[in-house]
Amino acid sequence: MLDNSLAEERVDPRIRRTLQFLEEAFSTLIHEKDFQSITIQDITERAGINRATFYAHFPDKYALLDYKIRQEFRAEIEKRTLNACHYSQDNLRALILAVCEFIREANGQCKSPRGQFEPLMEAQVKAQIKDLLMTWLDQVDSNVSPEISSTAASWAIYGLAQYWNDEKDRKPLNKFVEQVLPLAEANLQLNQI
């Protein structure tokens, strides 16, 4: 499976269309039944493709879920043009906000108990946060390696966003972001902004 967006832009339009059919079918099914109940047969029937075509793209439904999460979070980052930005406190604030909103939306979409797909979502989102932060950190001076800083900050951002989403009496999102911004920033160990 292709991981970077540039490679995906070069994919044959028929493959992109097939992936879109699979993703749409899966999205519809995940609203109707829990993840464990969904079969490959359900997905392929809904998408109007055969099982061999499904297996040409994904080894199982977990890989499809992983792909869907990656695509949706990437779209969220691109919508906010954070992938084209440099490090700034405003961009970090926007990233934290995006992660909180993405987790809230993902948790609200699925009929399945969150525990069934949460590890996949966490892995995908943290990896993309880390990659984005590494890109930003390559442009500024830091006390520690960009790899270590971006790893720590991605875990902090994701964990804090999950904390906010789990709260019964949540603070308004903008207030929460302002409260946790210094915590995320501290993980980046920046010398100058």
Average pLDDT, the chain: 86
**Residue 142 β-bridge partners:** 190
- In sequence order, what are the residues at sequence separation of 6 or more whose Cβ sits closer than 8 angstroms to the Cβ of residue 174? 97
Rounded Cα distance between 45 and 58, Å, is 16
Q: How confident is the model at residue 6 (pLDDT cuts 50, 70, 90)?
A: very low
Residue 190 DSSP SS3: strand
CB 95 within 8 A of CB 180: no
> How many angstroms separate the Cα of 7 from the Cα of each of 55, 74, 122, 168?
20, 14, 23, 41
Model pLDDT for residues 85-137, shown as the tens digit of each residue? 888 899 999 999 999 999 998 877 655 545 667 888 899 999 999 999 999 88
Q: Are 157 and 136 in contact (CB under 8 A)?
A: no
Q: Give the integer Cα–Cα distance in Å for 161 and 167.
A: 10
Cβ neighbours of residue 101 closer than 8 Å, sequence gap 6 or more: 76, 173
Which region holds residue 103: left if phi is over 0, alpha if psi is between -120 and 50, else beta? Answer: alpha
HSE (CB half, 13 Å, CA atoms) of 184?
Answer: 29
Q: What is the per-residue pLDDT across 129-162, written as a single tens digit (0 to 9) for each?
A: 999 999 988 887 766 788 998 999 999 999 999 9
- For residues 125 and 69, give the distance between their C-alpha atoms in angstroms, rounded to a whole number: 8
What are the beta bridge partners of residue 190? Answer: 142
For residue 6, CA distances in Å to 2, 3, 11, 13, 157 come to: 9, 9, 9, 14, 26
